[in-house]
Structure 1
Amino acid sequence: MAKKNGKSVYIAALLLFLGGLGYLLFTGFSQNSVYFLEVSEALAMTPDQLGSARLFGTVKADNIKRHEEGLGVNFILEDANDKSLVLPVVFKGAVPDTFKAGAEVIVEGNIDDATKAFQARTLMTKCPSKYEKKNRE
């Protein structure tokens, strides 16, 4: 009888562990899930539908304005495939050194209903090709 109780304790502990692990994974993924879209897809959605999103595009050559008070930048994000589709972006934070006109960037945030601009919480630039390993033959 003592042997049976020991086995059930291990089974109960395993079930509790797996249940807790499953709960942590579920809540972690649901809270941090962000859609990855191009500018054209974001423009086709309403701010309610868009919610929190991660957008990919290219920094338009004109209208890059660094914030006078320090960190941050306002710029226009162009669609990667259709340069006529653009979205204004406001970013408050440290701007990467590789940020410049024509750079491919990823911004994460949401649309501000009042200004219709994308309020970016994060700004990442794609590394330029000069950092990529060259094919040596």
Structure 2
Amino acid sequence: MAQDDDSWPVRYDSVAVDAAAGEVTSRSRWADYPVLAKLSRLGVQANTGVLSGAAIQLVLAAVASGLVVVIVWGYRMWWQRRPRRADRAAAFGRAPARGTWRQLPPAAAGPRCPGRRRDRLGAAAAGDHTARLPAVDAAVGLVQRARR
């Protein structure tokens, strides 16, 4: 017999009952689970929206749909700017030249808030990639100059 209550507070207690004697032979209480096992189970349920109900599931579905739209939109923009034959012009013009970011004013190139920590905002991965772009661009430029 098990009690699976997905609402908050979570209750996942179970017992094993001997059918012949009608006695409880063992218990597994949610309070006795290891912390990492609890976090794993709760993390999966929070991520799928089971803990918060239908409202959060609708929000998660909207976020997932938006992500799909952005991905398809990105591929569409690439398709419109892809290399083509010389007699067919691209609808939106050419992609920006390498090194264009250097012409931006500092406020537009990388706005920073004093004392801001990227990891608090959950944007560590995006921030790291954004910080690496100018370095990769500079390295490509050095390699191209060395080959000339």
Q: How does the TM-score come out when normalised to structure 2?
A: 0.28
More helix by share: 2
Q: How does the TM-score come out when normalised to structure 1?
A: 0.30
Higher Cα radius of gyration: 2
More strand by share: 1
